[in-house]
A and B are shown apart, each in its own frame.
Chain A
Amino acid sequence: MDDTLRELYQDVILDHSKHPRHFGKLVDATNTAQGHNPLCGDRVTMYLKVDASGRIADIAFEGKGCAISQASASLMTDMLVGRTVAEAEKLMGGFLHLVKGEDAGDLDPDDRERLDVMAGVSAFPMRVKCATLAWHTMKSALESGETAKTE
Chain B
Amino acid sequence: MTAQSKISTAFDPVATRADFPILSKSIYGKPLVYFDNGASAQKPRQVLDAMRDFSATEYSNVHRGVHYLSGKATDRYEASRRTVQKFLGAAHEDEIVFTKGGTEAINLVAYSYLAPRIQPGDEIVLSVMEHHSNIVPWHFLRERNGAVLKWVDIREDGSLDIEAVDAAITAKTKLVAITHISNVLGTVTPLAEIVARAHAKGVPVLADGAQGAVHELVDVQALDVDFYTLTAHKLYGPTGIGALYGKRKHLKGMRPFNGGGEMIREVTRDVVTYADPPARFEAGTPPIIESVGLAAAIDYLNGLDRAAVRAHEHDLLTYAREGVRQFNWLRVIGDAPGKASILSFETEGMHAHDLATVLDREGVAVRAGHHCAQPLMERFGVASTTRASFGLYNTRAEVDVMLEALAKARKILV
B413 at the interface (CB under 8 A from A): yes
Min CB–CB distance A23 → chain B (angstroms): 16
B374 at the interface (CB under 8 A from A): yes
Tell me whether B412 and A9 are in contact (CB under 8 A).
Answer: yes
Tell me whether B370 and A5 are in contact (CB under 8 A).
Answer: no
A65 at the interface (CB under 8 A from B): yes
B369 at the interface (CB under 8 A from A): yes
Tell me whether B369 and A40 are in contact (CB under 8 A).
Answer: yes
A41 at the interface (CB under 8 A from B): yes
Which residue in chain A gives the minimum CB-CB distance to B377? A41
Tell me whether B374 and A67 are in contact (CB under 8 A).
Answer: no
Select which of B354, B369, B370, B384 is within 8 A of A67 by beta carbon.
Answer: B354
Which residue in chain A gives the minimum CB-CB distance to B369? A40
Q: Which of A94-123 contact B (CB under 8 A)?
A: none
Tell me whether B361 and A66 are in contact (CB under 8 A).
Answer: no
- Set of chain B residues within 8 Å of A4, measured between Cβ atoms: 361
Which residue in chain B gives the minimum CB-CB distance to A39? B369
The main secondary structure of chain A at its interface with chain B is mixed
Indicate the member of B354, B370, B413 with the most A CB atoms within 10 Å: B354
Number of interface residues of B (CB under 8 A): 19
Select which of B352, B384, B412 is within 8 A of A1 by beta carbon.
Answer: B412
Select which of A6, A41, A64, A127 is within 8 A of B357 by beta carbon.
Answer: A127
Q: Which of B358-398 contact A (CB under 8 A)?
A: 358, 361, 368-370, 374, 377, 383-384
B250 at the interface (CB under 8 A from A): no
Given contacts A1-B412, A5-B361, contact A40 B370 (CB under 8 A): yes
Select which of B28, B352, B354, B383 is within 8 A of A9 by beta carbon.
Answer: B354
- Set of chain A residues within 8 Å of B353, measured between Cβ atoms: 40, 66, 68, 127, 130
- Proximity bits, B114-132, A CB within 8 Å = 1, else 0: 0000000000000000000
Which residue in chain B gives the minimum CB-CB distance to A1? B412
- Proximity bits, A74-106, B CB within 8 Å = 1, else 0: 000000000000000000000000000000000
- Set of chain A residues within 8 Å of B374, measured between Cβ atoms: 41
Min CB–CB distance A27 → chain B (angstroms): 25
B17 at the interface (CB under 8 A from A): no
Tell me whether B412 and A40 are in contact (CB under 8 A).
Answer: no
Tell me whether A67 and B351 are in contact (CB under 8 A).
Answer: yes
A28 at the interface (CB under 8 A from B): no
Q: How distant is the Cα of A124 from the Cα of B353 in the complex, in angstroms? A: 12
Tell me whether A65 and B351 are in contact (CB under 8 A).
Answer: yes
Tell me whether A40 and B384 are in contact (CB under 8 A).
Answer: yes
Tell me whether B412 and A41 are in contact (CB under 8 A).
Answer: no
Given contacts A2-B361, A5-B361, A14-B413, contact A41 B354 (CB under 8 A): no
Q: How distant is the Cα of A126 from the Cα of B358 in the complex, in angstroms? A: 13
State the 7 A-B residue pairs at the shortest beta-carbon distance, nearest first.
A66-B351, A66-B353, A41-B383, A41-B370, A67-B354, A40-B369, A2-B361
Residues of chain B whose beta carbon lies under 8 Å from any beta carbon of chain A: 28, 350-354, 357-358, 361, 368-370, 374, 377, 383-384, 408, 412-413
CB<8 Å pairs between A and B, sample of 15? A2-B361, A9-B354, A9-B412, A9-B413, A14-B413, A40-B352, A40-B353, A41-B369, A41-B374, A42-B384, A65-B351, A66-B351, A67-B354, A67-B413, A130-B353
13 additional contacts (CB under 8 A) given A5-B412, A40-B370: A5-B357, A9-B358, A39-B369, A40-B352, A40-B353, A40-B369, A40-B384, A41-B384, A64-B383, A66-B352, A66-B353, A68-B354, A127-B353
